[in-house]
Amino acid sequence: MKSIFLVIAIASLASSCATCRMHESLQENELIGTVHVGDSECPAVISTKENGADKRYYPANIADSLKVNGKKIIFTFSPSRAPQPAGCDIDMTIALLTTRWVK
């Protein structure tokens, strides 16, 4: 019984520490988002949670290597003047400035 409790305690501690490290490694203006791929009207969308609100961005310049459904990325962006695809339910069209995978 003690060994089961010990395993659960270690797993909880390890997962909480990983979350802390991830937040500590964010630089100014970086966001964590999840890539969603597959919709023909929106070839790729990045969803985030900012200040408790869900946001959806259409990255006009997303690289093919980042189009992995469900993959979490850390990114910075600037607003883009690229047109929003018709029928694409997003908050803003963006241009990705920097990207990296969440480990």
Residue 15 lies in a domain: no
Residue 41's pLDDT is what? 78
Q: Are the beta carbons of 62 and 26 closer than 8 angstroms?
A: no
What is this structure's pTM?
0.72
Q: What percent of the chain has pLDDT over 90?
A: 56
**Total tally of structural domains belonging to the chain:** 1
Q: Which two tokens stand for residue 91?
A: 């908050």
For residue 20, pLDDT beyond 70: no
Output the average pLDDT for the chain. 82
Q: What's the CATH code of the domain at 43?
A: 2.40.50.500
Three-class secondary structure of residue 37 per DSSP: strand
Task: For residue 37, tell me if it sits in a domain.
Answer: yes
Domain with 79, as residue range(s), is 29-101
CB-based contacts of 79: which residues, under 8 Å, 6+ apart? Answer: 92, 93, 94, 95
Asked if residue 4 belongs to a domain, the reply is no
